[in-house]
Amino acid sequence: MEVAAAFERRPTRQVLVGDVPVGGGAPISVQSMTVTRTADHEATLQQIYDLAMAGADIVRCTCNEIEAAEGLARIVPRSPVPIVADIHHQYRMALAALEAGVHCLRLNPGNIRRPEHIRTVAAEARDRGVPIRIGVNGGSLHPDLYEKHGGRVTPEAMVESALDEIGYFAEVGFDLIKISVKASSVPLMIEAYRQLAEVTDHPLHLGVTEAGPPPAGLVKSTAGIATLLAEGIGDTIRYSLTAEPVEEARAGRQLLESLGLRERKNVDLIACPSCGRAEIDVVAVAEEAMSAFADREIPLQVAVMGCVVNGPGEARDADLGIAAGRRRGHLFVKGQNAAVVAEEEMVEALVEWADFIHEHGAEAALARVDTDRAAREAERDREGLLAEQGDDANDAGARIEEIRRRTG
Ligand code: SF4
């Protein structure tokens, strides 16, 4: 079966959030949000830099008080990525954030309700050419819509809320719009986005709100966001996790890379699931490697494998990998044995080789070592382990015997 390089995407209009295009065929962008007080501009800027390093293209900061708007005025000129101001309840904060120079606003139609206030903000954003995200949230739906839809949050009610807001914006000739219809229920948000995609061509910002801490929060967010992306819906995404914000940015980036929707930027770490053959604690070494590579911009696939018996073969497509055997790490490049290091130095060796390959290429990396010798050493450990463990280290034969005995 022919596999398409990426999913066909729904055509949308494009808006510019600072210098980041959203929609209209632009690469899907990753967003995250700071958790510092925006008024503390130094701490907030530090977090914005951390988020940008972790893969965020756009960062949102709350603008909930006048000190926050003043903080934004200091933050925006020094930020490495465009800044979105998050506005709830007070439309005056939206005007203050625009004055501070933010690149986008997020308005929640459920809690800025007076049409004249909405129009005032939209007119100001129009004059400044600043886009607005209409951020409908299942948990804070406009009370009238809640009533109208039977006292329940439904996909229809959420879509109607977004369309009402677009209507207010249209009255002042404003259409630099992105929309989100988030909910904490995955099926609800999926259906709301599907319905919204049917009735508008504005770019969509995807997310599962209040997804909670990882791993459940990651699973919920991925279930919702990935389902829609695979249907071609979505132009920018945010994981809302109860975790360090950098986790959100990393997760968003990794999701897009794993779907082939963004070019790989960081290491794609793969690891075997471990089994009776494992010569090391695969989980611990993989975690150690994850943190060693965390913020390094090296677009390689790197494998951590539990044994030299099967590891190099199972991970032969990785750019670089290491497999354990008899207290040693056997390093391989594209399936070719390259070096042998002490078990304690496995992660260190991976980082050194990854850096070198990234800078000079795999051929140059291999040219500096004796690959024949590395292959002989790997074969020696492989044969030694096979001699010790036999070819059934996972006791599969005994299980098969038992299955046959019980079913025979
Ligand atoms: S056979 Fe080796 S590489 Fe494969 S899962 Fe088991 S330990 Fe990992």
277: Cβ below 6 Å to ligand 1?
Answer: yes
Is there a domain that residue 188 lies in? yes
Q: Say what the pLDDT of residue 217 is.
A: 95
Give the Cβ contact number of residue 1 at 10 Å. Answer: 2
- Decide: 306 in ligand 1 pocket, CB within 6 A: yes
Tokens (6 digits) for 118 = 């909405």
Give me ligand 1 centre to Cα 344, in Å. Answer: 19
Q: Specify the CATH number for the domain of residue 116.
A: 3.20.20.20
The span from the first CA to the last CA of the chain, in angstroms, equals: 38
Question: What's the confidence (pLDDT) of residue 303?
Answer: 94
Quote the ligand 1 centre to 395 CA distance (angstroms).
14
Same domain, 254 and 272: no
Q: What is the rounded distance in angstroms from the CA atom of residue 268 to the CA atom of residue 64?
A: 38
| Dihedral over alpha carbons 76, 78, 80, 86 (to 10 degrees) | -20
CATH code of the domain covering residue 340:
3.30.413.10
- Quickly count: other Cβ atoms within 10 Å of residue 281's Cβ: 13
**Which residues face 15 on adjacent strands?**
22
The full DSSP string for 16-27 is EETTEEEETTPP
Q: What does the pLDDT profile of the chain (408 residues) look like in tens digits?
A: 445 456 899 999 999 999 999 999 999 999 999 999 999 999 999 999 889 888 899 999 999 999 999 999 999 988 889 999 999 889 999 999 999 999 999 999 988 889 999 999 999 999 999 999 999 999 889 889 999 999 999 999 999 999 999 999 999 999 999 999 999 999 999 999 999 999 999 999 999 999 899 999 999 999 999 999 999 999 999 999 999 999 999 999 999 999 999 988 888 888 987 888 999 999 999 999 999 998 788 999 999 999 999 899 888 889 999 999 999 999 999 999 999 999 999 999 999 999 999 999 999 999 999 999 999 999 999 999 999 988 788 777 887 788 788 777
Exposure pattern of 15-51 as b/e (b: 16+ CB <10 Å)? bbbbebbbbeebebbbbbbbebbbbbbeebbebbbbb
In a domain, 277, yes or no: yes
Say if residue 227 is in the same domain as residue 338. Answer: no
Mutate to test the pocket of ligand 1, among 310, 317, 391 (most ligand atoms within 8 A of CB): 310
| Domain enclosing residue 70, as ranges | 14-258
Residue 185 domain-assigned? yes
Same domain for 250 and 181: yes
pLDDT of residue 296: 84
**pLDDT at residue 53, rounded to an integer:** 80
Ligand 1 pocket, mutate which of 309, 317, 389 (most atoms under 8 A from CB): 309
Specify whether 280 is located in the same domain as 237.
Answer: no
pTM of the model: 0.79
Please give the DSSP secondary-structure letter assigned to residue 213: S
> Among the residues of 328-395, which ranges form H helices?
346-360, 362-367, 371-389
By the 10 Å C-beta count (0-12 exposed, 13-18 middle, 19+ buried), 156 is classed as: middle
Does 280 lie in the same domain as 214? no
Domain identity same for 218 and 283? no
Neighbouring-strand partners of residue 241: 212
Per-residue confidence (pLDDT) for residue 5, from 0 to 100? 52
Residues 99, 153 within the same domain:
yes
Number of domains observed in the structure of the chain:
2
Same domain, 274 and 176: no
Domain shared by 114 and 254, yes or no? yes
Distances (CA, A) of 361 to 6, 87, 139, 262, 268: 26, 47, 50, 22, 17
Please tell me the residue having the least CA distance from ligand 1 atom 2: 307
